[in-house]
């Protein structure tokens, strides 16, 4: 069994007033898009894939300059704070969330840009 971590583009073409939206670079299409990076954690047994958790990530080039995170005790505040963190940190959060929910796997698979000594250590 494996955990699979993948990020893809979630394009929002008319995202001038969408909270935490940013210019995202799509490496596959070699273009910038307005929107988010969709980070997904899934579980697989080799035959099937079950989505476990996800997060929408913002970027450095935000479309709105004044981002008020708000009260981090609310779901809105938690999601906004999570969107502003690095993808590797959020990946570890999603893995911890899955393990705390009783979902276990033997391996974790992810793209090469996730791989770093700090990531492997944690």
Give the pLDDT band (50/70/90) at residue 105.
very high
Cα(76)–Cα(99) distance, integer angstroms: 23
Helices (H), the chain: 75-83, 87-100, 117-121
φ/ψ of residue 38, rounded to 5: -95, 105
Give residue 94's Cα distance to chain centre: 9
Domains in the chain: boundaries = 2-121
Mean of the per-residue pLDDT values of the chain: 81
Q: What are the beta bridge partners of residue 28?
A: none
> Residue with structure tokens 């893995």?
95
pTM of the model: 0.75
Nearest alpha-carbon partner for 10 in 43, 50, 59: 59
pLDDT tens column, 37-67: 888 999 999 899 999 999 888 877 665 655 6
In whole angstroms, give the CA distance from residue 109 to residue 121.
15
What's the helix, strand, coil split of the chain in %, to 5? 25, 35, 40
Q: Is the pLDDT of residue 91 over 70?
A: yes
């Amino acid at each position: 069994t494996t955990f699979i971590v993948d990020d893809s583009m979630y394009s929002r073409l008319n995202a001038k007033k969408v909270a935490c939206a940013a210019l995202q670079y799509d490496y596959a299409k070699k273009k910038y898009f307005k929107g988010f990076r969709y980070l997904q954690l899934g579980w697989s047994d080799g035959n099937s894939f079950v989505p476990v958790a996800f997060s929408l990530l913002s970027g450095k080039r935000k479309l709105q300059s004044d981002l008020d995170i708000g009260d981090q005790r609310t779901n809105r505040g938690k999601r906004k704070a999570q969107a502003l963190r690095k993808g590797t940190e959020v990946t570890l959060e999603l893995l911890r969330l899955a393990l705390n929910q009783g979902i276990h796997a033997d391996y974790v698979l992810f793209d090469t840009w996730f791989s770093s000594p700090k990531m492997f250590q944690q």
